Amino acid sequence: MATDLHPTLITILVGNGSVGKSTLTARFTKGIFIPEYKKTIGVDYAEREIPVRVRNARALKRSAGLSQIDKEEEEAQLDASIDEMESTKTYDCETPTMMLWDCAGQSEFDTTTQQYYKGAVACILACSATDRQSFIDIQNWNAKVKKQCVQDLVTVLVLNKSELEGQGEAVEVRLDEAKALAKTLGVRFMPISVKNNTNIDSLFRYLARSHLEKVRFANSLQKSVMAGGKLPDAVASSGFLQAAQEIKQQPFVEAQPQQAMPAPSNAPPPPSKQKTGFFAKLKASMAN
Ligand SMILES: Nc1nc2c(ncn2[C@@H]2O[C@H](COP(=O)(O)OP(=O)(O)OP(=O)(O)O)[C@@H](O)[C@H]2O)c(=O)[nH]1
Ligand SMILES: [Mg+2]
């Protein structure tokens, strides 16, 4: 059943200067490529709706038992022929708004940009194939985000400018090492090219779908716990529970911008943290 609600998903873009965060934002929200580099001062803001297929609770329970390769295959199918947006027994079609906070890569703006991390539900860690240091610094960016955020964000490490791979350009980061780093950090990896518009919509669909499915996980478990006080054994043993526990303090009500945007940035003020207390109840039910 398709929902009439259109959630807003705050997504932060972080990474060193000049890796392509603002260009990525412009490509996704305006469909253009900006060839010039103009460094971001503080935080910039843009948004766009994106249609996605979101698996329902039953389908999620089933896919929790799949291998990583099979999971990615299933996701690729969800991504395919996205224009035929019809809900089925397995998934619903939703059109969330992706609210992008494009954070400056220069460390002088860290105090400002980190305020915007707190309300986020998704994160893009961006580095460039032509900038070794931007790859090395990804661990720092990940640590900064983790320090500020209450919940685990759906996160993708993107290696931008990947169209230069194999073209004799000064490529300083190999695909396999970027993939290995993503694995170490426990996040998804995607090579992208903003210039060639490669993987851009897929990236945002992945973030949107993964977050919405996490919320469904949590809601489904919440219902189970509230109804019976104890989780079904099938759920507890399927890996479903572990995935849901990663949500921790995930807000059930999506954070919304509260006021007009502050100067000089065009971003809305950071939302306050929201806590549900759901996992306290979940843990209590499991102890019974
Ligand atoms: N070849 C190539 N160049 C790109 C690509 N994406 C972005 N660029 C270029 O990289 C440069 C820097 O891009 P920005 O998006 O401004 O960089 P940023 O990460 O926002 O930098 P800060 O605002 O300083 O944090 C620009 O000249 C872009 O045109 C790409 O996919 N391929
Ligand atoms: Mg920028």
Q: Where are the domains of the chain?
A: 8-216
Any ligand 1 atom below 6 A from CB of 268: no
Q: Which ligand is nearest to the CA of 24?
A: 1
Q: Which residues, in sequence order, are bridge partners of residue 244? A: none
- The angle subtended at Cα 250 by Cα 242 and Cα 111, nearest 5°, is 120
Tell me how far apart the alpha carbons of residues 62 and 75 are, in angstroms, rounded to a whole number: 13
Tell me how far apart the alpha carbons of residues 46 and 99 are, in angstroms, rounded to a whole number: 6
Atom of ligand 1 nearest to the CA of 103: 25
Q: What is 8-216's CATH topology?
A: Rossmann fold (3.40.50)
In this predicted model, what pLDDT tens digit does every residue of 119-170 receive, in sequence order?
899 999 999 999 999 999 999 999 999 998 877 899 999 999 999 987 766 8
Any ligand 1 atom below 6 A from CB of 105: yes
Residue nearest to atom 2 of ligand 1 (CA): 161
Best residue for ligand 1 mutational test, from 12, 18, 33 (most atoms within 8 Å of Cβ): 18
In this predicted model, what pLDDT tens digit does every residue of 219-251 receive, in sequence order?
777 776 676 655 555 455 444 455 555 544 444
Mean pLDDT calculated for residue range 53-79: 79
Kindly report the average pLDDT of the chain as a whole number. Answer: 80
Q: Is the peptide bond prior to 264 cis by the omega test (within 30 degrees of 0)?
A: yes
Sign of CA dihedral 266, 101, 244, 219: positive
